């Protein structure tokens, strides 16, 4: 089972490619994964990056819950897929992040942060990632609100 941990600042090249951190590549290789599915995050200005098998599990769960005969659920499913793209690591351990996705999350400059979130990776603009940090009091309050 995949579990991505840690946050790593990476540089984008002029074509929108970034080297995936070695610890993430090692995790992918151990699981025999070579491709990812990227989509814009629902709540935050970041990109969700799912290993293909994790993406397929997510979609299977959605299929079980959604009816193709319910208009609102069909609209949700369509929107969930909007802009999603499958990508692969190249021979140098880089991934090409589509320019449209980078623009949609407001990347400023050439620094991004790849953040391990258990079974997926998030890609953030460095500034936005730093701004998203909770202070200790907020974090403690949130843990009690969700029952931890």
Ordered domains of the chain (ranges, CATH): 7-146 (3.40.1550.20)
pLDDT digits (tens, 9 = 90+) for 79-90: 999 999 999 999
**What is the pLDDT at residue 109?**
87
pLDDT at 55 over 90: yes
| Tokens, residue 66 | 């959604």
Give the pTM.
Answer: 0.92
| Tokens, residue 30 | 């151990």
Rounded Cα distance, 8 and 21, in Å: 7
- High-pLDDT (> 90) share of the chain, %: 88
- From residue 38, alpha-carbon distances to 17, 45, 61 in Å are 14, 13, 18
| Tokens, residue 134 | 């909770």
Neighbours of 137 (CB within 10 A): 8
């Amino acid at each position: 089972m995949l579990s991505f941990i840690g946050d790593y600042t990476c540089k984008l090249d002029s074509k929108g490619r970034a080297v995936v951190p070695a610890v993430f590549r090692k995790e992918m290789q151990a699981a025999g994964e070579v491709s990812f599915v990227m989509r814009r995050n629902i709540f935050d200005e970041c990109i969700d990056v799912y290993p293909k098998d994790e993406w397929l599990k997510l979609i299977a769960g959605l299929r079980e819950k959604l009816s193709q005969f319910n208009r609102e659920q069909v609209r949700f499913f369509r929107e969930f897929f909007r802009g999603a793209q499958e990508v692969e690591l190249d021979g140098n351990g880089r991934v090409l992040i589509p320019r449209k996705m980078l623009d949609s999350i407001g990347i400023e400059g050439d620094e991004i942060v790849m953040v391990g979130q258990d079974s997926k990776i998030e890609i953030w603009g460095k500034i936005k990632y730093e701004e998203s940090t909770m202070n200790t009091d907020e974090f403690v309050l949130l843990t009690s609100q969700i029952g931890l």
